[in-house]
């Protein structure tokens, strides 16, 4: 990680980069296999094996529970470095890391089930996937009550890292409420349907997960919210999602910048300068948002607006920087063998994650006009 260079501004807290070396080692493994997984749309299994060996899966688990105790800032630095080597590995793992951060938040705020989850991540190496990208405010999966269980039926799209995950954090509609819970991939009625054939991010293996008459004990329900509204569980998820995913896309752009700098000629000074200024201001935005949250933050509309504003800046900067890197290399970047070609495709996914850049503007504006911010 080029701390202090145009790619990464010097951290205010030197300890922020504590786990960057680990991420770099895992990233080197990911990079070795990235082209193959991109070509075949197969899961980045070698990188996940390296994560288990290094303990990276428990990066954000508190030390007293057996993890590495990384802060949100440290997770962002590590994820940026991981994605600099391979975007698909970085994005797949971002889904696990933000959910672990969220469980840490829930534990600090008294959720009785959170500590067990965190201990399992540290001790058993479980990997948590999510269906959040397809569920959002209006999930289509339904459940009916049968005694003390829910019987769930539906299909979840965009379940990143599903071939390597242990459980999926998901939800279902019961009446006018949305109930949030986790389901083991080994549970009867759960199956992965391999639908992931996409422009980019092919190594994330973000397949559909089908739930057919899956029984969920009521005790596994972690939260609920009104249908069509953010509510507590979704606020908690998105507040932790935005910085980690923003840092991941930032890392893709930083890697593209480094390739361009290594290959550039003297005439490329201005676009390289533009890349560096965009990257620096995007990183300041992400770190500034985390600073604004502080240590004792709440997951609320104003908090969501803060982190989504930062994610928007990181996403737009990432798109611009990768395009600039392509321009610097010229026709060489157009070949499939170029890692910039893959970065160009991978970074396109940045605009689809909620809140999208345009939705962020609408949400922030609604708050300014007095809207309570419980709908998008």
- Three-state secondary structure readout of the chain: CCECCCCECCCCCHHHHCCHHHHHHHHHHHHHHHHHHHHHCCCCHHHHHHHHHHCHHHCCCCHHHCCCCCCHHHHHHHHHHHHHHCHHHHHHHHHHHHHHHHHHHHHHCCCCCHHHHHHHHHHHCCCEEECHHHHCCCCCCEEEEECCEEEEEEEEEEECCHHHCCEEEEEEEECCEEEEEEEECCCCCEEEECCCCCCCCHHHCCEEEEEEEEEEEHHHEEEEEECCCCHHHHHHHHHHHHHHHHHHHHHHHHHHHHHHHHHCCHHHHHHHHHHHHHHHHHHHHHHHHHHHHCCCCCCCHHHHHHHHHHHHHHHHHHHHHHHHHHHHHHHHHHCCCCHHHHHHHHHHHHHCCCCCHHHHHHHHHHHHCCCCCCCC
Query: Degrees (nearest 5) of the Cα angle 66, 87, 162?
Result: 60
Mean pLDDT value across the chain? 95
* Six token digits for residue 90: 């970085």
| 121 pLDDT more than 80 | yes
Query: Could you tell me which residue, 3 or 205, shows the higher pLDDT?
Result: 205
| 268 pLDDT more than 90 | no
| 374 pLDDT more than 70 | yes
Q: Which residues of the chain form CATH 1.10.540.10?
A: 14-127
Closest CA to 133 of 160, 115, 162: 160
**Whole-number pLDDT of residue 244:** 98
Q: What is the pLDDT of residues 285-315, one digit of tens each?
A: 999 999 999 999 999 999 999 999 999 999 9
Q: Which residues of the chain form CATH 1.20.140.10?
A: 231-368
What's the rounded Cα separation, in Å, for the pair 231 and 211?
Answer: 24
Q: What is the pLDDT of residues 187-212, one digit of tens each?
A: 999 999 999 999 999 999 999 999 99
What band does 265 get if pLDDT is binned at 50, 70 and 90?
confident
What band does 6 get if pLDDT is binned at 50, 70 and 90?
low
What's the rounded Cα separation, in Å, for the pair 148 and 156?
Answer: 24
Q: Which residues of the chain form CATH 2.40.110.10?
A: 129-226
* Six token digits for residue 245: 């995913």
Cis preceding linkage at 355, omega within 30:
yes
Closest CA to 355 of 280, 281, 304, 314: 304
Question: Worst-scoring range by mean pLDDT, 41-50, 129-138, 182-191?
Answer: 129-138
Average pLDDT (79-84) is 97
Q: What is the pLDDT of residues 24-63, one digit of tens each?
A: 999 999 999 999 999 999 999 999 999 999 999 999 999 9
| 1 pLDDT more than 60 | no
Average pLDDT (167-174) is 97
Are 227 and 176 in contact, with CB atoms under 8 Å apart? Answer: yes
Are 65 and 115 in contact, with CB atoms under 8 Å apart? Answer: yes
Contacts of 304 (CB under 8 A, 6+ apart): 230, 235, 238, 239, 242, 363, 373
User: Which CATH number is 129-226 given?
Assistant: 2.40.110.10
What band does 4 get if pLDDT is binned at 50, 70 and 90?
very low
The terminus-to-terminus CA distance of the chain in angstroms comes to 36
Superfamily name and number for 14-127:
Acyl-CoA dehydrogenase/oxidase, N-terminal domain (1.10.540.10)
User: Which CATH number is 231-368 given?
Assistant: 1.20.140.10
What percent of the chain has a predicted confidence (pLDDT) above 90? Answer: 91
Q: What is the pLDDT of residues 154-165, one digit of tens each?
A: 999 999 999 999
């Amino acid at each position: 990680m080029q701390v202090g260079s145009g790619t990464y501004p010097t951290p205010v807290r030197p300890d922020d980069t504590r786990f960057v070396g680990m991420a770099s080692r895992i990233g080197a493994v990911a990079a070795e296999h990235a082209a193959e997984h991109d070509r075949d749309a197969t899961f980045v299994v070698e990188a996940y094996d390296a994560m288990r060996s290094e303990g990276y899966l428990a990066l954000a688990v508190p030390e007293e529970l057996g993890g590495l105790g990384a802060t949100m800032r440290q997770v962002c630095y590590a994820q940026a470095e991981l994605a600099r080597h391979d975007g698909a590995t970085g994005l797949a793992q971002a889904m696990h890391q933000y959910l672990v951060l969220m469980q840490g938040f829930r534990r600090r705020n008294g959720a009785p089930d959170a500590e067990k989850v965190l201990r399992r991540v540290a001790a058993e190496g479980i990997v948590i996937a999510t269906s959040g990208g397809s569920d959002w405010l209006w999930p289509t999966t339904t459940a009916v009550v049968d005694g003390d269980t829910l019987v769930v039926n539906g299909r979840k799209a965009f379940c990143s890292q599903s071939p390597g995950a242990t459980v999926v954090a998901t939800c279902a509609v019961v009446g006018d409420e949305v109930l949030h819970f986790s389901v083991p991939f080994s549970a009867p009625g759960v199956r992965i349907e391999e639908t992931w054939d996409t422009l980019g991010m092919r190594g994330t293996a973000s397949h559909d997960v089908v739930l057919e008459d899956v029984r969920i004990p009521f005790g596994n329900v972690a939260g609920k919210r009104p249908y069509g509204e953010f509510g507590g569980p979704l606020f908690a998820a998105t507040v932790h999602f935005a910085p980690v995913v923003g840092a991941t896309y930032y890392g893709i752009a930083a890697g593209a910048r480094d390739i361009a700098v290594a290959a550039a000629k003297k005439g490329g000074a201005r676009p390289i300068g533009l890349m560096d200024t965009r990257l620096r201001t995007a990183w300041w935005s992400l770190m500034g948002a985390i600073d604004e949250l502080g240590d004792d933050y709440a997951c609320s509309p104003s908090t969501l607006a803060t982190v989504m504003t930062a994610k928007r800046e990181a996403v737009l900067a990432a798109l611009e920087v990768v395009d600039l890197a392509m321009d610097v290399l010229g026709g060489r970047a157009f070949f499939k063998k170029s890692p910039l070609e893959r970065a160009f495709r991978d970074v396109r996914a940045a605009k689809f994650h909620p809140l999208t850049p345009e939705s962020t503007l609408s949400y922030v504006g609604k708050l300014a006009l007095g809207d309570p911010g419980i709908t998008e």
